[in-house]
Amino acid sequence: MKTRQVRLFPGDLVEVKAPDHILETLDAAGTVDHLPFMPEMMEHCGRRFRVAGRVVKTCFSGAVSTMRSFPRDDVVTLEGLRCSGQAHGGCQKGCLIFWREAWLRKVEDAAAPSPEAPGGAEGLQARLRTTAGPATYFCQASELLAATAPLSRWQRLGKCVSEVRAGNCGALQMVRRVAIWLFWRLRRAVLGEYARGPATATPAEGLELQAGEWVEVKPMESIRETLNAAARNRGLYFSPNMRELCGGRYRVQRRLDRIIVDGSGEMRQLRNTVYLDGSPCGCAYTAFGGCSRGEYVYWREIWLRRVRSA
């Protein structure tokens, strides 16, 4: 497998290689070290993008959220590229796509034409899998556990240093991330979950919100009434950073009805749940030093009220 490439860093201009060159890197399952090249990635072949960051570590949202890393340290994200889910049952998770450096070519001269002639799309398409069984999907989320390795406490600390060296963030920004995590870890140990509520069977409410509509996030006091002692509403966690949006008005980006579960490939159905613009994951609140995955925050409609405009 030809997977050796020059190391890429945030801001580098890269071109996604032609399908036939990508095909040369893949094993029989369409992966490099268990990380799949997905059909949704094919439309980007031959196009140029900026590197958003090196994936020094990433979260894995299984039964317990954990931090893991790609052993070969050869994975990056590209600005604005998320999975559409079109080849995976219409999954709406919107994961940031992970790219092996072997699938990219660094562009030194932005004005220079591509040296690669596009070709091999049919062969690449034939190699790529989308399912692992009758009721399970095969994608980067489903294979994340297999493609990554767990991190010890000392390794997690070292990865924070690596994040700074890779240019993903500045030293002061990393110090702030660690301080946030320490504060909320200590608070949780002493006082319990920040948003814990009184409910045993948590309530549901459907607003049938659609993309483009405006909503106002309810006050924290109202949201707390919908949560149980673990700060969850029907299994969905209300994280401490979400409190910062209370009282604000935001546009609905899209409804969220189905997502592929990390590690299992199961398609999980959701109800009364949406994404909001300007609502990024507050990973630093729950994960030491944050991570590169950049997942969306999920909002139950019972935490929101419809408004006419911003």
* Complete DSSP assignment for 184-224: HHHHHHHH--TT--S-SS---------TT-EEEEPPHHHHH
Q: How far is CA 230 from CA 30, 237, 265, 286, in A?
A: 40, 8, 26, 14
User: Is the separation of the CB atoms in 260 and 267 below 8 Å?
Assistant: yes
Q: Which of 117, 96, 84, 87 is nearest to 15 (CA)?
A: 117
Half-sphere exposure of 305 (CA within 13 A, CB side): 9
Would residue 146 count as lying in a domain?
A: yes
User: Is the separation of the CB atoms in 139 and 36 below 8 Å?
Assistant: yes
State the helix-helix crossing angle for 171-191 and 153-166, rounded to 10 degrees: 150
DSSP 3-state assignment of 151? coil
Would residue 89 count as lying in a domain?
A: yes
**C-beta neighbour count of 270 within 10 angstroms:** 17
Domain tally, the chain: 1
Would residue 215 count as lying in a domain?
A: no
How would you write the pLDDT of the chain (310 residues) with one tens digit per residue? 444 567 999 999 999 999 999 999 999 999 999 999 999 999 999 999 999 999 999 988 765 568 899 999 999 999 999 999 999 999 999 999 999 999 999 999 888 887 777 778 999 999 999 999 888 999 999 999 999 999 998 999 999 999 999 999 999 999 999 999 999 999 989 998 899 999 889 999 999 999 999 999 999 999 999 999 999 999 999 999 899 999 999 999 999 999 999 989 999 999 999 999 988 777 777 788 888 888 889 999 999 999 987 6
Would residue 21 count as lying in a domain?
A: yes
pTM, to two decimals: 0.91
Q: Which of 281, 277, 304 is nearest to 217 (CA)?
A: 304
Would residue 54 count as lying in a domain?
A: yes
Range of the domain at 67: 13-150
Would residue 308 count as lying in a domain?
A: no
**C-beta neighbour count of 290 within 10 angstroms:** 27
Q: Which of 45, 111, 41, 102 is nearest to 76 (CA)?
A: 102
Q: Are strands 48-54 and 75-78 parallel, antiparallel or unpaired?
A: antiparallel
Would residue 237 count as lying in a domain?
A: no
111 vs 144: CA distance, rounded Å: 36
213 vs 257: CA distance, rounded Å: 17
Would residue 167 count as lying in a domain?
A: no
Exposure string over 30-69, b if 16+ CB within 10 A, otherwise e:
bbbbebbbbbbbbebbeeebebbbbbbbbbbeeeeeebbb
Q: Cα(first)–Cα(last) distance of the chain, in Å?
A: 52
